[in-house]
Amino acid sequence: MKIVNIVVNLIEYHQLNETFVLLLKRTNGPYKNQWALPGGKVEFGERLSEAIIRETKEETGILELKNLNLFLIVNEVVSLNNTRHDHFLVNFFSSTVDNNLVESSTEGELRWFTFENLPKKLVPSDRKAIELWFKSSKSKSIEFRECDLELVSLDQQGESVDLKLKNWMSEI
């Protein structure tokens, strides 16, 4: 098994005194039926900055990102029955947009959430990243974390039904 390099984007939209975050309800892969930050795989030879712009456009239709910032890198190992299932190096970016217009996505439903009303079925590492971003005063420094996720159950197609955060290491 190889490590898959991933980019995800914490996209913020500000309206009046509220901040909204764009999430995508995944329709396939190990995070099926989980809400997640938009993003995907880095292609061979692609810079992270190119990948995040491409993935954001593909999954949301958003063409113009402001304040693009890499703020967190997570080494994420997903296990099933104590056997490693997937391994990702997740590069978390943040950005802002001027409006809340998004296109429909073939990857799943897109919806804006406030920080106080994040969905229950949110990929645990994405939830931790969102919490970290909002609690850290949106610092420009980059942090590195490691986490372990456990696939709690699989449906008959081998897709995940639920995920549990087993370990979130803030110190290495």
Token representation of residue 117: 């009303």
Q: Mind telling me the catalytic residues?
A: 109
Q: Give the global pTM.
A: 0.82
pLDDT score recorded for residue 135: 80
pLDDT score recorded for residue 73: 87
pLDDT along the chain (172 residues), means of 10: 87 92 89 91 92 94 90 82 80 92 86 94 90 74 64 57 62 46
* Residue 122 and residue 34 in contact, taking contact as beta carbons nearer than 8 Å: yes
pLDDT score recorded for residue 155: 58
